[in-house]
Amino acid sequence: MRSALNASLSPLTAATMTLLLVRDGSFANATAVQDGHPAMTLIKRMWGSSVSPSEESPYTAYRLDSSEGFEGAILFEYGSSPPPGRAFMSALANLVALAVERASLSESNAEVRAQTRTEELKTALLSSVSHDFRTPLTAISASASSLIDFREQFDAAAAARLLRRIVDECERLNRYTANLLEMSRLEAGQSLARRQTLEIMETLTAIIQRVRPRAGNRHIERHLGDGHLLVSVDAAMFELVLINLLDNAILYSEVGTRITVEACRNENWCTISIADEGWGIPEADLERVFTRFYRVPRSEPSPRGSGLGLAIARGFVEALGGRIGAQSPGPSGRGTVITISLPLAEETPPP
């Protein structure tokens, strides 16, 4: 604000301007100086409408008063140029005081909005944690209790189903925990701390194999090409991002539909896309789905999830200088396509 005011007022006043404000401590710091400088002497006397230590002084100071009270002072140094009339300078000081007040109100409003947003995120986080952690824990507890209390009444197949449910819910709980931890790492700026070079085709093949048991009767197709694509990423977070995207494609599509995973080179970029044939995303929500805890409102019951997967994906990809976006419907006329573009890493030459 100081530089903008100085640039605006200097041509009008033919003077160098110094803005001293109560709210940022610059007024108190200036009035604490005890070097006998005439400008500082002038500022210490800043309780009239305007004062000057002598007729020959090149300094003139004006109070800045607003509806909120005393805001500080504005000091003009004229050098050899004659100062403008006092009425003009007083009116100018009033305008500066108004600008200072508006800037102060704007900052206060921004702080209130930030605080409100923080409280909303805390509420959403508590709601997400309480629901998304309680649900798998309840399922684990119920299955384990059934095996303990009624094990003699279960045949081998029924017992195996309960054990499989316990394992699945433990994996789900682990994914929720990982999402929360990685979201914290992203916000702390730690997403680039553990980078290593990965080969995309191998990584995607391994991740698809890990996710395939959760796909049920959905068919996962791969179009990975024959190219050798390298990216420099945090391996654990990159895998988590891809698993989140595949899990979303599974959760938001019906049994019997197709999920397509593609990867290719696009000049100096590696482009990865994951397309499903599910319910899709309304156009108005294509950007909002990347916001933490946001979930598209639906009339039918929504699949369980934390609302963090796409937010983590965006934070991770953008931290690497990449791009991520959503398209709906996809090429099939339905569903959603999530596309990630990451800078290609240079291949390390053999020793």
Model pTM score: 0.55
In this structure, are residues 261 and 331 in contact, taking their beta carbons and an 8 Å threshold? no
Segment among 35-49, 306-320, 335-349 with least mean pLDDT: 35-49
Question: For residue 2, is pLDDT > 80?
Answer: no
Q: Which CATH number fits domain 2-111: 3.40.50.720, 3.40.50.2000, 3.30.450.40, 3.20.20.70?
A: 3.30.450.40
Instruction: Give domain 195-343's CATH superfamily.
Output: Histidine kinase-like ATPase, C-terminal domain (3.30.565.10)
pLDDT band at 84 (very low <50, low <70, confident <90, very high): low
CA–CA dist 306, 285 (Å, integer): 17
The CATH class given to the 121-187 domain equals mainly alpha
Express as a percent the part of the chain with pLDDT over 70.
67
pLDDT tens-place string over residues 176-207: 777 677 766 666 665 566 788 999 999 999 99
The dihedral region occupied by 280, where left means phi > 0, alpha psi between -120 and 50, and beta the remainder, is: left
In this structure, are residues 52 and 42 in contact, taking their beta carbons and an 8 Å threshold? yes
Which of 330, 308, 311 has the alpha carbon at shortest distance from 259?
Answer: 330
pLDDT tens-place string over residues 256-287: 999 999 999 988 999 999 999 988 888 888 89
Question: For residue 350, is pLDDT > 60?
Answer: no
Segments making up each domain of the chain, as ranges: 2-111, 121-187, 195-343
CA distances, 275 to each of 17, 51, 222, 246, 313 (Å): 60, 72, 11, 9, 15
Please report the pLDDT score of residue 242 as a whole number: 92
CA–CA dist 106, 103 (Å, integer): 5
